[in-house]
Amino acid sequence: MENRPLEYDYTVAKMFMFMAIVLGIVGMTIGVVLALELAFPGVNTILGSGVAEFTNFSRLRPLHTDAVAYGFTLSGIWATWYYVGQRVLKVSLKESSFLMAVAKLHFWLYVLVVAAVVVSLFAGITTSKEYAEFEWPIDIAVVVVWVLWGVSIFGLIGIRREKALYISVWYYIATFLGVAMLYLFNNMEVPTYFVSGGIGAWYHSVSMYAGTNDALVQWWFGHNAVAFVFTVPIIAMIYYFLPKESGQAVYSYKLSLLAFWGLMFVYLWAGGHHLLYSTVPDWMQTMGSIFSVILILPSWGSAINMLLTMKGEWQQVANSPLIKFMVLASTFYMFSTLEGPIQAIKSVNAIAHFTDWIVGHVHDGVLGWVAFMVIAALYHMAPRVFKREIYSKSLMNAQFWIQTLGVVLYFSSMWIAGITQGMMWRAHDEFGNLAYSFIDTVTVLHPYYTIRAVGGLLYLVGMFMWAYNMYKTATAGRAVEEAELKNASPMGA
């Protein structure tokens, strides 16, 4: 038994891979629609004014953020968990029918939640809290899904053969614990139907917290939802997939260790940077700013560790589009974790807050780092789960360059738009009057909104190329032997 290679079971990984691709395309298509609506407001009624209630910017926006964060990204995280988890713990899901059942239930319940979310957000059923829009019935389902994942993590760990947990597993565990804690506290809400004795909508609730307190809890959550969905599990991915694909050993264990514990400790304090110059106490704001600046280092720690893992391997970077995705992802990770802290400085935030510069920061993180990593991870997994080589390397290469151009257009246009708008809002003219009416500060953005829409469209085109390449890999790629799958993924021309 010990000598025979383990037969891993990728059934659930495959199901989540499928969801990641579908929800990625759905979420980003909505993103492109949103971008077009801001550039050309006529798009709000593109399907006719009869259904504009459901296609206008404000109804669609939460659908975009939730589809990409909790659809695309979470599916990607779980696809990789059900792949990486088995391999680095050296244990197969086949060995436990209980864990297999839990994993399947995890998937199907998740699909149900996704459906419920789509219906409820289209209907305008939302609590308005960013990234926590769901009403309490969905919250409860989310908690069940999350617990199932927890059972899967700790169950697999319980029967593992590899005694020491690999770095990626640290980060998966942290994701699980972090989100659990944040989600529970931020979603404390009182269902009005029961308290009022059966009046009104049964799903409606009212927040446990009011005003400034509500804002504090929300952004303690919001900032760390970013941390524990867009950062921590993505680091889990890169620590596995980059060394594995390149065949290189991780540069420094010490650096991994310090970066991990540093990140865990520092991240949670930084939420105050979403509330600068608001009505929360000054000391909390200052705390948010200070910890944001300190946060640069644990963030950069992981990125540097990965870049140094590729030391001397320029050949691989130049030749493999799969490795290019990951190296550029670390770069964008560094970019957004320097940009964020600088935007967290009070004086800079005075300009940046409420503007498109923040939206730019968001997307150099999510497009350049999160989505690139998910794409790369699933490309690496495809030959292993389908036992076929990746259908087309040149298509992957083209996808890489198109999407890179897309990200660059997105963040640079929003960067300029945000700084311009922030400065126009503040400007006084020679008479001491406001120099601009609000609408002046909107119409100047039109060219940048158009460029952003083009960038987004390019990125979306890349997503379709990815889907096609994955589909062809699964169905038409050349069959490969186990021996070809050690490191660099086999690719067809």
Partner 1 sequence: MFHWLEKRPFLFAVGVFVTIAFAGLIEILPDFAKASRPVIGTKPYSVLELAGRHVYIKNSCNACHSQLIRPFKAETDRYGHYSLSGEYAYDRPFLWGSKRTGPDLMRVGNYRTTDWHEHHMKNPASVVPGSIMPGYPWMFTNAADIDTAYAEMLTVKNVFNVPYNKPIPTKDGGTVTVKLPDTLDGAKAEALKEAKAVAADMKSKEVKDMVARGEIPEIVALIAYLNSLK
Partner 2 sequence: MNKLYLWGGIFSVALVGATYAAIGMTKGGLNGDIVNILAVLGAIAIALITIWVVVKYVRQMQTDTATGELAEENWDGIGEYKNDLPIGWAVMFMALNIWGFWYFIVGYPVNAFSQIGQYNDEVAEKNAKFQAVYADIKGERLVEMGESVFIANCTVCHGINADGMDGKAANLNQRIEKKTVKYVINHGSNNHLLGMEMPMPDRNGLFNANTGALITDAEIDTVASYVANGFQGAGADIFAGTCAGCHGADGRGIAGVAPNLREFTPELIANVLAHSKKGAIGKMPAIDVLNKKQTEAVAAYIISLSK
Contact between 196 and 234 (Cβ < 8 Å): no
For residues 169 and 148, give the distance between their C-alpha atoms in angstroms, rounded to a whole number. Answer: 17
Q: Which range in 48-56, 137-145, 253-261, 326-334 contacts Ca ion by CB under 5 A?
A: 137-145
Burial annotation 36-51 (CB, 10 A radius, 16+ → b, else e): bbbbeeebbeeeeeee
For residue 431, state whether it binds ligand HEC (rule: CB under 6 A): no
- Residue 318 has, within 13 A of its CA and on its CB side, a CA count of 4
In whole angstroms, the minimum distance from the beta carbon of 53 to ligand HEC comes to: 11
Which amino acid makes up residue 359?
V
What end-to-end distance do the CA atoms of the chain give, in Å?
37
**Beta carbon of residue 297, minimum distance to ligand HEM (angstroms, whole number):** 9
Residue 142 contacts residue 183 (beta carbons within 8 Å): yes
Interaction between residue 363 and partner 1 (CB under 8 A): no
**Separation CA 236–CA 233 (nearest Å):** 5
Q: Name the one range near partner 1 by CB under 8 A: 322-330, 352-360, 384-392, 404-412.
A: 352-360
Q: Which residues contact 399 (CB under 8 A, 6 or more apart)?
A: 321, 375, 462, 465, 466, 469
Q: Which does 151 bind (CB under 5 to 8 A by kind): partner 2, Cu ion, partner 1, none?
A: none
In whole angstroms, how close is the CB of 242 to ligand HEM at the nearest point?
A: 17
Is residue 264 involved in binding partner 2 (CB under 8 A)? no
223 binds, among Cu ion, partner 1, ligand HEC, none (CB under 5 to 8 A by kind): Cu ion
Selected from 98, 283, 431, 438, the binder of ligand HEC by CB under 6 A is 438
Q: Kindly tell me which residue out of 1, 164, 439, 493 binds ligand HEC, with binding defined by CB under 6 A.
A: 439
Residues between 166 and 185 with contacts to partner 2, criterion CB under 8 A: 166
Which x/- pattern over 285-324 shows residues binding partner 1 (rule: CB under 8 A)? Answer: ----------------------------------------
- Residue 2 interacts with partner 2 (CB under 8 A): yes or no: no
What whole-number distance in Å separates Cα of residue 422 and Cα of residue 135?
34
Report the site for partner 1 in 416-455 (rule: CB under 8 A): 425-428, 433-434, 438-439, 442-443
Q: Does 361 bind ligand HEM (CB under 6 A)?
A: yes
* Residue 218 sits in the site that holds partner 1 (CB under 8 A): yes
Segment (H or E) for 206: strand 205-207
Q: 121 exposed, middle or buried (CB, 10 Å; 0-12, 13-18, 19+)?
A: buried
Considering the complex, what minimum distance in angstroms separates the CB of residue 46 from partner 1?
A: 11
Closest CA to 376 of 430, 327, 439, 436: 327
